[in-house]
Chains A and B, each alone.
Chain A
Amino acid sequence: MGIGLKVRRLALLAGMAVCALGLSAAEAAEKHKIFLSMSYIGNDWQAEAANMIKAMAAHKSLADKVDLQVQVAGPNAQRQIQQINAMVQSGAEAIVVYPISPTALNQVVKNACDKGVKVFAYDAEITEPCAYNVHIDQLEAGRVTAEWLVKKLNGKGNIIAITGVPGTSVDDQRTKAAKEVFAKYPEIKIVGEAVGMWSQAVARTELSKILATRNWNDINGLWMQVGCFTANSMQLEAGKKASELLPCAGEGSNGGRIQMLPEGTDVEGAAPPYAPAGAQRISYASPPYSGALALKLAVEAIEGKDVPKTTILPLPLVTNETIKLCDEGTWAEMKAGCNVFKPSLVSNPGWFASIFSDQTPEIGLNAALVGQPEN
């Protein structure tokens, strides 16, 4: 960790302490009172999304307009229900929410809408019609990645599938769409399937279990919701050469994308397995900027602009043909087409790299890392 980063963290901590004390009432009164209700913040994706939302609220275009309060409900839908209601009671104009359940919140969201509160759900969906939803098309994500894999394998081969959290709509849609594609090719066989919980660490344990009775040589391809970085690392550990890595359709972690760069590319801070390996990949993601965009749309909605009820985000897809290294990770640079960050800037390979949106010039790499907006 560089000294600079440490200093930045300290400054941020101090800033947060000030924020925790709360703004004076008079100051807050002129601003739109907006709440963020997060579910569980104990994983990388949630924390990154939260950073980006905070950065968006701190950007100069919104800082004078928005009084954002962030609350965490934990994994319990009951508590999120109560939290949303408490937010409504304390005068929220809009509530941005990462919904724990697409259906369980319907009643309380309807109740909020009836009181004129705009409710924006990001990443996952709320099925209550009065809620605004900002997310990707999960069916498309499952379909496109499966089609890519089938094409890479010429319609023939043994594959392993690592799914997400069972019982969620997101996992259900992605897996179903992918399996529909695989079913069209009788020579594609799913020989192993495990629940990956959208975590690199779990993906590793599950793959180890599957490979205890199998050999990498019996497998031709991988379809994983999260875990390609880990799968590639494991193959390298097992003695495979970089050129022999199996094609892997999976998530948009920065580590996985660095591995997609041609072998031998000079990248600052790279160390195997977090290093270029020319891995054959398609990288997709549920982008963590969706919450920040939802906040921006919420302000627009409060100000009376016409905001559509459903915003389907373009599916961020990166293949070996389109992979491009960012230098600093500013929004302008990403706009020019770069989509992966140096390990010297992003030391966590499991960090989600799909942070670019045409619609959010307020936030770039620093927003996702430490919650600082672009200038």
Chain B
Amino acid sequence: MSSAAISSPVSTGFGLRRALTRHRGALIAAIVLATLLFIVDWISAGPLTYFDVSFLSSGGATSALAAVGQTIVILSGGFDLSAGAVISLVNVVLASSMDPMAPGASILLWTAVGIGVGMAVGAFNGFFIAVLRMQPIVVTLSTMFILQGVTLLVMDKPGGFVSPDLGTFYLGDAITGWLPMPLVVIGVVLLAWFWLKGTRFGTALYAVGSDPDSAAAVGINVVLVRFAVYVIAGGCYGLAGVFISAQTGSGDPLVGNPLLLSMFAAVVVGGTRLGGGQGGPVGTVFGAYILMMVVNILLVLNVSAYYSTIAEGTILVLAALAGSLSHASVLAVQLRAARARIAAWRAGILPSQIEAIDRRLKIAGPTQNQRGLASPRPAFRLRNAETLRYALPAYVCLLIIVIVTQVWLGRTILNPGYWNSLLVLSSFLAVLALGQGTVILTGGLDLSVPWTIGISGIILAGMVNGSDAALLYALPVVLVMACAIGFANGFGIAYLGISPIVMTLATNGILQGFALIYSQGTPAGFSSPMLRWFMTAKLGFVTPIVLLMVVFVAGAVLLLGRTPFGRRVYGIGNGLRAARLSGIGVERTLILVYMLSAVCAAVVGIMLTGFSGQASLGMGDDYLLPSIAVVVVGGALITGGRGHYLGMLGGVLLLTALQMLLAGTTLPYATRAILYGLVVLGAVMALRERRLQ
């Protein structure tokens, strides 16, 4: 998405103006934050006191510190899903190793321990990503699972002790009554960043994020830069972990995990572009505080509980929109384009209004037959070499897992029940993989999957209420609703220029609110006998849904591989600008892609309702990260443009088979999480990027 860079005004010669343009994202985030502060101050009972400011500053500090680390990773073109898990790990390490009997704790020592743990994890990530050239999203996802397991091994329930000295230091005042310590800590981190940015390393960081090939060509050591980025980011998460330990005075193995998604939102709201090369941590800090301020806004506005996620989603979208208000924003470009189109229509010079004449040069090309004679089609293996290279590893690993299951648990390979269960359990992710996979192929990400599943299931169950006849109208209603959800996502992304992560995250929150309001917290109704039959009955050894899946897979492969829509998707993923210039209706395609994703999620909601017999709130919560993981494990590139549906299907089967193996054992959950992470990491070892030339 280099449109912003290209259409930004040419150097004006005024230093101030240029600085303003360059830091626009951070500036707007700062203005939004100031506005929110003003609103809280204006509406709430008393004026904001120093105590309020001090408390707000400590409330947002953990996510701000962690988001700074995430920003640096994103600037380098990466992605780090292990951030939340690092915070939890540092928290339990500190809480379990501090001695409650010791008179005082060394702040320097424990801070160093926390940062050290974070950097060690960062080095682990960095090794696989930089040295072994594996995709950041898979590596850090595996790390996340492994760390969650390790965290539970260190401390399997909340407890432990963090010395109050740490709290007194980190939450206290730097200058009594004037400057709270959390702001100083963030200030120090930002100063360190400014210093870093000014060094050769800083320049290299932005260069690698903008274009790794060019960076390598001018002699930058890309491997070293990437490795260092993850280590530095790990240090930031470690510091965030120290801060939350100081703030809570105890340990909780789950404390960091929910910070992950809001961290990405903070980065984007702060004006950093996903994909790298543009933005910086200053805006991120404002972004993190904006997200925390939402809590206070909801309170002073007295937004009732069911509406809170809706309000939050709306605030997120508005903040993102405010950040993109400028002459060069996508929205402005779209409006200008629309004006031009209307003018052209009035003048009667729109392409569709002009008489269609084939103006192409006539070339006597070889006919189909002749071409076949002239050069024989290369062998299947050669034609599909690229696809096979990325899709095969998942299947090879699947085979290994199945063999291990046979040896460990028995009753596998020759047991038709095993294969049927594998396919039924895989069917949910297989459907999601098409939607999420297509979105990822265009370089986006759909985070609204969980509550699209949830609301679809809830509305379907409520309408069907056990009647097969009602399915006839309930199914279309739910699918049309899904189309509307997808359209909203696609419209926001394509026409309003909101980043896919922010747009779909906001949609997810809004859908959650709607689901709660619709169901009043208690989803009514249950699935009809026919739907249940599809998901749970057996025709011989096979559940009906398995037969449907065969059709679905064939359809998905054809859709992505053999239709103009599929080719446009790959085109957009490989290069947005190139796609636009070659005449692809980028906006229209993007909207269709997000509609496809929403429809797939809705189908999963319907399938889950049939499978469980009823719908429940939160039924889609466990499908977000797996839906991304299977796509990437199946060989797709998270930045878009590469991947095959059959590869993703392999990823689905592999992860499901692995979970079935682990569920059959009596290993503790922590061990399972670690094994799961290691296997995913091992499976994608084969997907390493080729060495940069």
Taking Cβ atoms with an 8 Å cutoff, the residues of A that contact B are 1, 5, 9, 12-13, 16, 19-20, 22, 36, 38, 40-44, 46-48, 50-51, 69-79, 81-83, 85-87, 89-91, 101-107, 127, 163, 165-169, 171-173, 190-195, 197, 199-202, 204-206, 208-214, 230, 233-234, 237, 271, 273-274, 347-351, 368-371
Contacts and interface: CB of A to CB of B under 8 A. Distances in A.
A168 B252 CA distance: 8
A86 B295 contact: yes
A248 to B, nearest CB: 16
B522 A212 contact: no
Given A79-B292, A104-B255, A106-B250, A208 B244 contact: no
Contacts of B44: 89-90
A20 B248 contact: no
Contact of A347 (B304, B412, B525, B663): B525
Given A79-B292, A199-B616, A200-B616, A193 B258 contact: no
B45 to A, nearest CB: 6
A20 B520 contact: no
Interface string B577-616: 0000000000000000000000000000000100111101
Given A43-B616, A167-B253, A81 B247 contact: yes
Nearest to B43: A90
B2 to A, nearest CB: 35
A10 B160 CA distance: 48
A167 B250 contact: no
B59 A82 contact: yes
B524 interface: yes
Contacts of A369: 520, 522
25 contacts: A1-B525, A16-B304, A22-B302, A42-B516, A47-B617, A48-B521, A77-B248, A77-B252, A78-B292, A89-B46, A101-B255, A103-B248, A103-B249, A107-B247, A127-B250, A167-B253, A201-B616, A209-B421, A209-B659, A209-B663, A211-B421, A212-B660, A214-B411, A234-B536, A348-B523
Interface stretch (B194-202, B305-313, B391-399): B305-313
Given A1-B462, A75-B258, A210-B663, A82 B296 contact: yes
Contact of A20 (B159, B304, B621): B304
B152 A192 contact: no
Contacts of B59: 78, 81-82, 85
Contacts of A44: 521-523, 616-617
Interface string B554-570: 00000000000000000
Contacts of A190: 666
A82 B308 contact: no
B302 A106 contact: no
Contact of B302 (A20, A47, A211): A20
B417 A212 contact: yes
A82 B56 contact: yes
A73 B663 CA distance: 32
A201 B612 contact: yes
A101 B251 CA distance: 9
Contact of B250 (A42, A76, A103, A273): A103
Contacts of A204: 611-612
Nearest to A205: B425
Given A44-B523, A213-B405, A20 B418 contact: no
A50 to B, nearest CB: 6
Given A20-B307, A85-B55, A349 B250 contact: no
B158 A102 contact: yes
B524 A347 contact: yes
B159 to A, nearest CB: 6
Nearest to A17: B304
Given A47-B522, A199-B618, 11 more contacts: A12-B520, A77-B258, A81-B247, A85-B55, A103-B252, A168-B158, A192-B666, A200-B614, A209-B421, A209-B425, A213-B410
A41 B55 contact: no
A127 B252 CA distance: 12
Contacts of A371: 520
Q: Which of A89, A91, A211 has the most CB of B within 10 A?
A: A89
